[in-house]
Amino acid sequence: MGPLKNDMIEELQNILDYWSKNMIDDTHGGFIGTIDFNEEKDTEAIKGAVLNARILWTFSAAYQSTKNEEHYKIARRAFNYIYNYFYDEERGGIYWSVNADGSPNDTKNQIYALGFTIYGLTEYYKISKKERALVMAINLYNSIQKHSFDKEKGGYFEAYTQDWEEISDMRLSEKDANEKKTMNTHLHIVEGFANLYSVWKNEELKHVIVNLLQTIDDKFIDKKSWHLKLFFDENWVEKPDVISYGHDIEAAWLLQWCAEVTEDETLINNFRKYAVEITKVTYEGIDEDGGLWYEYDPQENHLIAEKHWWPQAELWIGFINTWQLTKDDKYLTVVNKNWEFVKRYLLDKEHGEWFWGIDKNYNKIPKDKAGFWKCPYHNARACMELINRL
C-alpha cells in the first residue's frame, strides 16, 4: 500500500503548489480567470463561480491534513472573494460569472453553482468556524429549496435569472442538452447538502437529502445498464444522451458518501450495492493503456475518443471505494495502472498540474490548464481520498 499513498501525498502537494503560485490575482483580487494551454495567464478573463467554489473547497479540505497556513490563507481568500463578489445576498443567489474586476458578468442562478458554493462554504466552515460562511451556506440551501425544488414531481430545476424567474437557456455548458432536470446538477446539489449536514445537523435538511437520494435512485440510476441517465424534461421524460464514464464512477462513490452522512442504513446499503455495480460497468470505458475514455454515444455507437483529466481522478476514488467494499484486489490494480497512465500522459512535469487531456493519438488537448472548468478539486480530492483510505 505504501508507494501509492506516498505518491498521492506528493501529488497533492504538487497540485496545491501550482494553484498557490500561479492563480493569485494581485491586480484585481481573488484568482485569475484563466491560464491557457501554453501557461499564458489571462488577467482580464472572466471568473467563474464554479472555479472559485472549487478552490475554496480544495484548500479548505487540504488544510485539514496539511495544516499549512498558506493553504488556510488561500481558502480564506477564496471565501472573501466569493462573499464580496459572487454572492447576491439580497436575492440569495450566486452570480455565474464576474468580470476580471469583480463586477457582475452573468448574473443567472445556475443551481449547480449554488450547490458547489455550499460544498465549498461548509468545508471552509470546518476550518474557520466563521459563522458568516455557515449562514451563507444555509441561505443558499434555502434558495434552492424555495425556487428550484419541484414540489409536484420531485427533483430540481436547473437555472433561473438573477431574480429567480424562468430562463430559456438552462445549460451548464454548450455540450449539454437544454433540459430542466439533469443528473449532474442533482449529484452536486446532494454533495453540497450532505457537506452542509456534516456541520449543521438540521432534521429537515436530513429529510431533504434522503428524499434527493431516493430521487436519484429512482430516476437517474439505470438498474439494467448501471449507467447514469443524464437529461430529463420537467415531467421526468428522459432525453437519451451519452454514457459519461467519469460521471458514472464519480457518482458511484459520492452518492454512497452522501448516504453515509445521513446514517440511514437502508440508503447506505443500497448505494454501496450501486457503487459496486457502477464500478463494474466502468470497465467498459477503460482503454488498454489504463486510461478512462471520456464518453460513449450508444445511439450513434460512437466513442468520444478523448481521455480528460477529471474522469481519471474520479476513477481512483470509485475503484478504491469498491476495493474497500469487496476486498477484491483487481480494483486496486486498475487504480495503480491508471496512475501510471496519468503520470505518463497527463502530468505537466515542467509547469505542474495536469493537462486537460489527450486524444486517441496521445496528442495533448489544447484547452485550459486552469480556468472556468479546469479546477483543482477533482484531482486534489482524489489524492486526499486515497491518502485517507489507503
Q: From its phi and psi, is residue 155 left (phi > 0), alpha (psi between -120 and 50) or beta? A: left
Residues 6+ apart with CB under 8 A from 364: 37, 355, 356, 357, 358
* E strands in the chain: 34-35, 41-42, 47-48, 87-88, 93-94, 97-98, 104-106, 109-110, 159-160, 181-182, 231-232, 243-244, 295-297, 302-304, 306-308, 357-359
User: Mind listing the pLDDT tens digit of every residue in the chain (390 residues)?
Assistant: 589 999 999 999 999 999 999 999 999 999 999 999 999 999 999 999 999 999 999 999 999 999 999 999 999 999 999 999 999 999 999 999 999 999 999 999 999 999 999 999 999 999 999 999 999 999 999 999 999 999 999 999 999 999 999 999 888 888 888 899 999 999 999 999 999 999 999 999 999 999 999 999 999 999 999 999 999 999 999 999 999 999 999 999 999 999 999 999 999 999 999 999 999 999 999 999 999 999 999 999 999 999 999 999 999 999 999 999 999 999 999 999 999 999 999 999 999 999 999 999 999 999 999 999 999 999 999 999 999 999
DSSP SS3 for 373: coil
Domain boundaries, the chain: 48-336
Distance CA 346, CA 388 (A): 23
* Residue 39, Cβ density class (10 Å: 0-12 exposed, 13-18 middle, ≥19 buried): middle
| Interstrand relation of 357-359 and 104-106 (parallel, antiparallel or unpaired) | unpaired
Q: Report which secondary-structure segment, H or E, holds 387.
A: helix 377-389
What CATH architecture is 48-336? Alpha/alpha barrel (1.50)
Of residues 204, 313, 210, the one with CA closest to residue 260: 210
Angle at 53 between CA 259 and CA 8, to 5 degrees: 70
Strand partners, 275: none
DSSP 8-state assignment for residue 148 = I
Neighbours of 64 (CB within 10 A): 13
Q: CA nearest 62: which of 75, 52, 49?
A: 75
User: What is the chain's percent helix, strand, coil content, to nearest 5?
Assistant: 55, 15, 30
Instruction: Round to whole Å and give the CA distance between 29 and 100.
Output: 9
